[in-house]
Chain A
Amino acid sequence: MINNYIKLALKVLARRKFFTFISLFGISLTLVVLMVATAIGDNLFAPRKPQSRFDRVLGVYVISLRSDQGSHTGPPGYGFLDKNLRGLPGAENMSIFSTISGTVLYHEGRRIETYIKRADGAYWQILDFDFVEGGPYSQADDDAGRFVAVISDELRTRLFGRNAALGRTFEADGMRFRVVGVVRGVPITRYAGFSEIWVPTHTTKIDNFRRANTGSFNGIVLAHSRSDFDGLRSAFAERISHFKFDDPREFNQLVAGLDTPFEGVARVMTNNQFDRKASNVVRTVFLVMALLFITLPTMNLISINLSRIMERASEIGVRKAFGASSRSLVGQFIVENIVLTVIGGFIGFLLSVAAIAALNGSGWIPHASFDINFRIFLWGMLIAAIFGVISGVWPAWRMSRMHPVNALRGGVA
């Protein structure tokens, strides 16, 4: 039966090419937008190299100091993290690293724009980089403030050409660093992992960062498993409840928390206004936006489906007159519609691959390289199928209620 429906569906689609084109156009372009958005989300938040273990990682990415008069919201300082995040009971490991900052190298008369991140030794244990040459520096290197650096393979090419970089030196920020490791490049969408140069934290020029509560550092803790998240969060909350304010007249409230990557982004996007609930707020906003966005294509599809059914009124009339039940007619039409949306979904997927390639190639977001994987493909197909059911149900129901006499005469207005 299903086979017959599908055969029939393909025949019908081939008969009215203009309508089929309009439907496919709408479905596939809608899916392109949704899939590109999903791909960006997946690239930002899914645990992928070098952040493979980030399904077990919680981080402090932004904190707020507040008072009745004003507030300061920004990345925490090294001092705050050192005091409140280190040695948290239940954590397997923890690391403190700086936010990314742009820098310019002047190397053999050339100007090279790049990025630098300062990180401790544990950073290399929690994140799993692919080393092309050498290896990471150690905690001992950091404690001693040795001028060693890990660089990305793209930067290696720009600095030293195709040659091996191990042991060679370059100057950054007025200091000369020796390359101890080269890693495969990281796209900018891996927030914690992205940089082109990594150097020990203690190579900074001034060491007043050690006490600062606010500044330009992030801290992450690695849990043994996700089930430890609640324990870590309450332990951290307990610790910061004893926070000592530098000047209680300036600020007297502290808002901070341990976040998953998505919660961290949500916290930053909402400027830390909702504390732990930020991720719910942001998720709701995105869902509402997505729903609003698919309203128009869905309605378009519904009205086209209606037109298409009206056109086939006499066919439906014949089937009804020969005793087809409403249910089987509805079933037939929904199958037809799902066939259509799945074809549209497939075209949409191909177009998404092209759109992502164009986005990567355009250089609009420097150092971004988005990709589409099987997971995103499945999401797209699921969205397409839901789309097909929603836009098929109502027209099919209208069709099934058509009176056979009217239907045979060519449908009612």
Chain B
Amino acid sequence: MIRHLLKLVWNRKRANALIITEIFLSFIVVFAVLAAVITFWSYWRLPLGYDYHDVWDVQMGFDVDAGSADNPQLRDTLRRLVAEAKTFPEVESVGGSNTPPYQFSTSEGVWRIQGKDVRLMFDDVTDGFADVMRIKPIRGRWFNADDDAANYQAVVVDERTARALYGESDPVGQKFDPDGDRPMQVVGVVPSYRKDGEMSGPHNMVFSRYSLVRPVGRMGSHLMIRVRPGTGAAFEARLMKRLEATAPAISMQLTRMEQARGFAHRFMAAPVIAGGVIALFLISMVALGLTGILWQSVTRRTREIGLRRAMGASGGGVHTQILLEVILLTTLALIVGVIVVWQFPLLGIFTIVPPAVYTAAFIASLLAIYAITVTCGLYPSWLASRLTPADALRYE
């Protein structure tokens, strides 16, 4: 049966080559979109590592260089800003950060630690940051005022970093950067933390402490404020007035983290949505085209089908034949598709898409293409099966 069908397909190789190429290209398009969608969906289900609700982020206008350790004037200004914000009953907690969540600013680099090259993301934060973001250490502790007196720079790593650097051994107390100017030491581990939000992939996170009283650590340009739920614009105006009066030389802008989150999501989802819409229309076009071509080929092969019916083939048999032809064409196209997509890991796709997602997208797109082409074949093959031998043979 299959050999016979192959022969039929081969007999119309020109027209079929076009269909096969179309199905192949559709497969690539479906794979690309599904890979993106599944990647985001798998990220979405991972824990975030912090709570963004009711957090206000005041960005201050001083450049990164000004935040370096030896700027006592700025450090004192920051200390007074934090103290002022804390006086309001609407404010639950206040902290400082340099690259807070959802802001698209990052500080990262490849560090050589314990003989391993690791890509790390950094944030410079204060003791209050953990309360604002509701981060609970799972080993060791978060920063506190005692770290001012320590002869090392205290850092807190997230679970993922701890595993990457120290494997199963206890990270607390480990030397972090033995070659640096000032020794760094891990004081605690927090749950995995994803700075850029739900739609971003896991990364290694390291928090480095800066003090508000001693020249310790690089200062961050964001003031993070957790307010009581339901606090509104009237208080926001009052708060900003007080902060501006406290530090008249610094420009400030307040964003609510929920809003920043909405913007970040829109920003990251936009290309996927645009790509998805385009892919959907490409696929629906191919599907319609395929239906038309199959329909046309069925009407043109009326005599062949009539002959089969006259020789005793049942309507169902004809139905199956046409569908099998479609499946055969699809399979031929997908063999090429599988060979091509199989090469993607060599091109480094795993740096963007996790292997599990790659496999899932691969299988899902295979199934989707089969489902689409078989659906396209249903109506034409039903038409073919309804032909009566007498009509079919008479057809000219």
Which A residues form the contact surface with B (CB < 8 A)? 18-19, 21-22, 25-26, 29-30, 33, 101-104, 106, 109-111, 173-174, 204-206, 215, 293, 295-297, 299-300, 302-304, 306-308, 310-311, 364, 398, 410-411, 413
Contacts and interface: CB of A to CB of B under 8 A. Distances in A.
Interface of B: 11-12, 14-15, 18-19, 21-22, 25-26, 29, 61, 63, 233-234, 236-237, 240-241, 244, 248-255, 266, 270, 278, 281-282, 285-286, 288-289, 291-293, 295-297, 299-300, 396
Contacts of A29: 281, 285
Contact of A364 (B25, B233, B266, B296): B266
Given A26-B285, A106-B236, A306 B15 contact: yes
Contacts of A299: 18, 21-22, 25
Contacts of B18: 299, 302-303, 306
A407 to B, nearest CB: 13
Contact of A205 (B22, B240, B248): B248
Nearest to A105: B237
Contact of A307 (B26, B266, B292): B292
A156 to B, nearest CB: 20
Contacts of B26: 296
B326 to A, nearest CB: 14
A177 B126 CA distance: 35
A22 B297 CA distance: 16
A103 B253 contact: yes
Contact of B15 (A21, A215, A303): A303
A307 B293 contact: yes
Given A25-B285, A29-B281, A205 B293 contact: no
Contact of B282 (A296, A310, A411): A296
A310 B278 CA distance: 30
B282 A303 contact: no
A119 B249 CA distance: 20
A129 to B, nearest CB: 25
A295 B253 CA distance: 48
| Minimum-distance CB pairs A-B, first 10 | A106-B237, A111-B233, A174-B244, A307-B296, A300-B289, A303-B18, A26-B285, A22-B288, A29-B281, A22-B292
A374 B75 CA distance: 58
B237 A22 contact: no
17 contacts: A29-B285, A30-B285, A102-B253, A111-B237, A173-B251, A205-B249, A297-B285, A299-B21, A299-B22, A300-B22, A302-B18, A303-B19, A310-B296, A310-B300, A410-B396, A411-B300, A413-B12
A106 B240 contact: yes
Contact of B285 (A300, A398, A410): A300
Contacts of A104: 236, 240, 253-254
Contacts of A173: 251-252
Contact of B248 (A111, A174, A310): A174
Contacts of B295: 18
A26 B233 contact: no
A304 B289 contact: yes
A295 B278 CA distance: 13
B292 A296 contact: no
A373 to B, nearest CB: 22
Contacts of B270: 364
Contacts of A33: 278, 281
A410 B241 CA distance: 85
Contacts of B25: 295-296, 299
Nearest to A33: B278
A299 to B, nearest CB: 5
Nearest to B245: A174
Nearest to B273: A364
Nearest to A106: B237
A307 B16 CA distance: 11
Nearest to A209: B63
Nearest to A173: B251
A413 B12 CA distance: 6
Contacts of B237: 106, 109, 111
A54 to B, nearest CB: 26
Contacts of A306: 15, 18
A109 B244 CA distance: 17
B22 A296 contact: yes
Contacts of B255: 102
A25 B292 CA distance: 13
A110 B233 contact: yes
Contact of A413 (B11, B21, B233): B11
Given A22-B292, A293-B278, A300-B285, A307 B297 contact: yes
A74 to B, nearest CB: 11
Contacts of A106: 233, 236-237, 240-241
A311 B234 contact: no
A21 B292 CA distance: 10
B22 to A, nearest CB: 5
A233 B248 CA distance: 41
A296 B285 contact: yes
B263 to A, nearest CB: 9
